[in-house]
């Protein structure tokens, strides 16, 4: 990353705990009954910026330091009555629980946002990328690789005779089949490849950094993996399936072809594969 961005990131990582240390120094100098409140903003900032464990640890350190500082006279506050002692203990307790509650709420919110982001970007049935996410990520991936030495390849895949599966075995069997095919395809791909569901029984794949020959070999491997896979033995399931694949490589479309153009060319090749008998790879 750029040096300026790295420096800015470091600043925001250390700023919350720095503000907490500054507040500790200020309240050590000033003291008085209001000293408990001096560190509250810093603790809340830490709770929103760090993990729940780190925020809890900082709260514990602050509370222990507060009690030790009052006991040793470092913090200029001497309780005059029993009610002052009780008030101090309640204040220290709230000082510990308040940031902890904020940290837990922040962690829960972050987890909910991650789940929401995953739900938006992924197909809810198969778990692969949704159409919009595939197009967005695929476009960025293609821009990085299509001008390289190897280039990139795009596939369109369609489950053969899928309507018959729904008609004969029910939509539940069709959903089960799509889930199984998506898992089989994902298992044959590399970590850097993209797999998404375009809708219905159609999937798309983006293969970065492959030659035309390598892309065709991967397409054949995917087709064969689906054909050999056993998808279920129970009632209302379809045990076997095949896919037709249309494949196009960026080198055949020019260096400035975007993902939409490549998908359209792959879709044309897919229709040719189905017209030629299905369960095959057609290269565009």
Residues involved in catalysis: 201
CA angle, residues 76, 82, 85, in degrees to nearest 5:
45
Q: Which two tokens stand for residue 112?
A: 């909910």
- Judge whether 279 and 225 are in contact, CB under 8 Å: no
With beta carbons less than 8 A apart as the criterion, state whether 189 and 210 touch: no
Let me know if 100 is exposed, middle or buried by CB neighbors in 10 A (0-12, 13-18, 19+).
middle
How many residues can be counted in the chain? Answer: 284
Measured between alpha carbons, how far is 70 from 123 in angstroms, rounded to an integer?
58
């Amino acid at each position: 990353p750029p040096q300026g961005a790295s420096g800015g990131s470091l600043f925001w990582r250390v700023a919350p705990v720095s503000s907490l240390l500054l507040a500790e120094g200020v309240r050590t100098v000033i003291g008085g009954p209001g000293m408990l409140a001096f560190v509250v903003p810093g603790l809340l900032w830490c709770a929103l910026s760090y993990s729940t464990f780190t925020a809890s640890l900082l709260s514990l350190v602050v509370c222990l330091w507060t009690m030790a500082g009052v006991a040793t006279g470092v913090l200029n506050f001497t309780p005059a009555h029993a009610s002052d002692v009780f008030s101090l203990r309640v204040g220290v307790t709230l000082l510990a629980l308040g940031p902890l509650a904020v940290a837990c709420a922040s962690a829960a919110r972050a987890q909910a946002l991650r789940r929401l982001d995953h739900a938006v970007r992924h197909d809810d049935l198969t778990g692969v990328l949704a159409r919009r996410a595939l197009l967005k990520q695929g476009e960025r991936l293609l821009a990085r690789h299509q001008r390289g030495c190897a280039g990139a390849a795009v596939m369109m895949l369609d489950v053969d005779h899928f309507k018959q599966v729904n008609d004969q075995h029910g939509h539940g069997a069709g959903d089960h089949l799509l889930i199984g095919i998506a898992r089989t395809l994902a298992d044959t791909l590399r970590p850097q490849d993209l797999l998404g569901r375009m809708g219905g029984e159609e999937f798309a794949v983006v293969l970065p950094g492959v030659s035309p020959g390598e892309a065709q070999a991967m397409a054949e491997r995917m087709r064969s993996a689906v054909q050999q896979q056993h998808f279920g033995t129970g009632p209302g399931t379809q045990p076997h399936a095949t896919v037709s694949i249309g494949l196009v490589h960026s080198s055949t479309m020019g260096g400035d072809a975007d993902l939409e153009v490549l998908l359209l060319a792959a879709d044309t090749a897919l229709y040719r594969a189905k017209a030629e008998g299905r369960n095959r790879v057609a290269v565009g």
